[in-house]
Amino acid sequence: MKAARLFTYDKPLKLVDVETPRLKNPADVIVRVTGAGVCHTDLHIVEGVWKEKVQVSLPYTLGHENAGIVEEVGSAVTSFKKGEKVILHPVITDGLCRACRIGEDMHCENLVFPGITADGGFAQFIRTSDRSLVRLNELEPADVAPLADAGLTAIRAVKKAASRTTSGSNVVVLGVGGLGHIALQLLRCMTNASITAADVVESKLRLAEKMGAHRVIDARRDPVKQVMEITKNQGAEVVIDLVGNDQTLANGVKMLRKGGSLIIVGYGGTANLKAIDMIFSEFSVLGSLVGNWDELHELIELTRQGKVRVITRKGKLDEVNDMLDQLKKGTLEGRGVVIP
């Protein structure tokens, strides 16, 4: 089968022929990938940011936002059969550790992360397990593949935001990319907050308006001051930082009102927190990591109800490097999806 693989850090992925994955364990499922989202994390992997974080040897196949059609199931799989449309929760879990038993898949002690620690979905087939699958029914895999990671990460962060807001609270979303445009729709259906979106690209601000932001601010022009004006100098109850660079993290803290929460989702930068400010203003800082199976299940249900729509730009597998380039330049609108 064809796969787009990383052979050398800082070099484009190579489209090569590799062996098709086979069932290894009784709970394994082989999925024919018919949609794989292209994510900022793929860029970080290519750049070697993850080199020290995960033990993986090159070459391997990237792609961790996968959806498709069940091709083959292991002997212990009773809940899915060949031909069903599915989306893959991004990690394969053991189901037995304490984290799994309380439903926190991302904290599984024996987690495998296809596309990050094992072969992923920029390929015609992928191996996963029955525990990771969510049924799509009438939804098309290529239309929803980015929900497996971008959308899932957005819903977990928005649920954290929702629990910290009440009607009329101010929520600021920093960054309107693949995650941001989904986060805005979710904020509209899960909160009654007043939503402000910030970005540095004009077209993304227009996208934010379409996706549910009540107002947008151009982050090139003193975003902290603009948020303070909007909130009558009180600051926002919640800031969701989907960018996570030094600048957005510093701005995010300055935008909070007393008792406010900064939810960090994007990464790359370092937050500098003055203890005295944290205490005097009772700020909370929360990290948010992807999401669990149930959050993916809920997101698929919201999509089925028409409350969430992913903006995709679809292409063939050999367009993946092109999409990664555009993502790097910030010119890719919505989410790139390759159809292997």
Binding site for Zn ion (CB under 5 A): 93-94, 97, 100, 108
* Nearest approach, Cβ of residue 103 and Zn ion (Å): 10
Place of tokens 């062996």: 19
**Minimum CB distance to Zn ion, residue 64 (Å):** 18
Residue 100 or 239: the one with the smaller Cβ distance to Zn ion is: 100
Burial of 322 (0-12, 13-18, 19+ CB in 10 A): middle
Shortest distance, position 91 Cβ to Zn ion, whole Å? 9
Question: Tokens 């390759």 correspond to what residue?
Answer: 338
Of 100 and 310, the one with the shorter C-beta distance to Zn ion is: 100
Helices (H), the chain: 40-46, 98-101, 141-144, 150-162, 180-190, 202-210, 223-230, 246-254, 275-281, 293-304, 320-329
Smallest distance from Zn ion to CB 27, Å: 13
Q: What's the distance, Cα to Cα, between the start and end of the chain in Å?
A: 10
In what side-by-side order are the strands of the sheet with 236-241?
Answer: 215-218, 194-199, 170-174, 236-241, 256-264, 284-287
Note whether 104 and 78 are within 8 A (CB): no
Bridge partners of 290, per DSSP, are none
CB-wise, 102 or 276, nearer to Zn ion?
Answer: 102
Q: Where are the alpha helices (DSSP H) in 138-268?
A: 141-144, 150-162, 180-190, 202-210, 223-230, 246-254
Which one, 45 or 108, has the nearer CB to Zn ion? 108
In the bound state with Zn ion, the residue whose beta carbon lies nearer, of 112 and 250, is: 112
Q: Which is nearer to Zn ion, 94 or 319 (CB)?
A: 94
Decide whether 108 or 116 has the Cβ nearer to Zn ion.
108
- Per DSSP bridges, beta strands 215-218 and 194-199 are parallel
- What's the one-letter identity of residue 167? S
Closest CA to 223 of 247, 258, 257, 193: 247
Cβ closer to Zn ion: 12 or 95? 95
**Least distance to Zn ion from the beta carbon of 166, Å?**
35
Which of 62, 117, 64, 143 has the alpha carbon at shortest distance from 321?
62
Residue 98 Cβ vs Zn ion, minimum distance, rounded to whole Å: 8
What whole-number distance in Å separates Cα of residue 313 and Cα of residue 133? Answer: 24
Q: Minimum Å distance from CB 96 to Zn ion?
A: 6
For Cα atoms 324, 302, 217, give the angle at the middle one, nearest 5 degrees. Answer: 55
Residue given tokens 């296809």 in the structure block: 114
Which is closer to Zn ion, CB of 11 or CB of 98?
Answer: 98
- To Zn ion, the closest distance from the beta carbon of 104 in angstroms equals 9
Closest approach, Cβ 95 to Zn ion, in A, equals: 6
